Amino acid sequence: MRNFFLGLSLLAGTAVHAQAVTEIGQLNDEFDQPLRSSWQWAHEKEGFPTKLDRFELKDGILHFQPGQSGWFNDGKAPFLYQTVNGDFDVRMRVKATGLNGGLANTQWSLGGLMVRAPRWQVKDPLEPKSESWLFVNTGVADKLGQQVVESKYTLHSKSNLKLRNAKTGWVELRMVRVGFVFISMYRFDGEQSWTLQDRYYIQDWPMQLQVGINGYTGDKPDMLLQVDYIRFKKPTVSFGPTRFEKPSDRYDYWYKNVSENNLADYSLSNEAVLKLLGD
């Protein structure tokens, strides 16, 4: 019963309408123009120290260079985001290197696509146990000389991560939200199929989330994330109403997702999930 009331209370506290199909595309950015006002820096919005060494838009590429920092447990790093309501399918093409263009020479130098729960009720920007987010990143982790794809999920500032060896070069990172299910995947340039990295079932996140670009590096900063574009659309599959036009729609959304949304069930194969989500 606790989850039932928690789910309803979270839905009641969010925006009345999820973004319509025609609206979510307005969040797309090819980075060939100055940043729109919909983009926000987390450190500016929340008041924690900036850890960004350089940020530049040049020739249609966003250059994102973090200083020493880290998204882990209570730790924070640079994060540039837009606010997204409801279900989404977002992909971002990135390239993570060291400052010299090759592999980073500092451990834990990664960047990529991040989804974060807003900290609406947290007044102290450094309050412990207040971070909840997930991401799919690429770069160098604990082993120098090895590029990886990293996925990390943090709930109330307790982080869990997974590393998989990967190629260097440009890669498209993708995150899909369908109700309470979040699915991360990636596809390197030249590949036709997506690789599913992780599936999460997170019932206690609100409808409104922060979605955008993160990056971090170690004590000898050596990380540059180049971002070609970020593109949004609505997922090809949904459970329950996509717009809350009457009070019962909130319950219907909650109930449909807890009773029918099987995208995080491992009885459903990765191949089946990818087929449902499409390209």
Which residues are bridge partners to 39 per DSSP?
none
Rounded Cα–Cα distance for residues 44 and 49 (Å): 8
pTM of the entire predicted model: 0.91
Whose tokens are 């770069």? That residue is 139
| 3-class secondary-structure state, position 273 | helix
For 220, the domain range is: 2-236
**CA-derived radius of gyration, the chain:** 18
**How many structural domains are present in the chain?**
1
Helix axes 2-12, 247-259, angle to 10 degrees: 130
Has residue 115 been placed in a domain? yes
DSSP secondary structure, 141-188, as one string: -SSTT-EEEEEEEEETTEEEEEEEE--SS-EEEEEEEETTEEEEEEEE
**Residue 161 belongs to a domain with what CATH number?**
2.60.120.200
Q: Is residue 189 part of a domain?
A: yes
| Residue 242 placed within a domain | no
**Structure tokens given for 192:** 């036709």
pLDDT, tens digit only, all 279 positions of the chain: 434 434 444 443 444 344 444 489 999 999 999 999 999 999 999 999 999 999 999 999 999 999 999 999 999 999 999 999 999 999 999 999 999 999 999 999 999 999 999 987 667 778 889 899 999 999 999 999 999 999 999 999 999 999 999 999 999 999 999 999 999 999 999 999 999 999 999 999 999 999 999 999 999 999 999 999 999 999 999 998 878 888 899 899 999 999 999 999 999 999 999 999 999
What's the CA angle centered on 62, arms 56 and 64, to 5 degrees? 70
The answer to whether residue 249 sits within a structural domain is no
With respect to residue 254, please indicate whether it lies within any of the assigned structural domains.
Answer: no
Q: Is residue 64 part of a domain?
A: yes
Give the contacts of 35 (CB within 8 A, at least 6 positions apart).
Answer: 29, 57
Q: Identify whether 34 is part of a domain.
A: yes
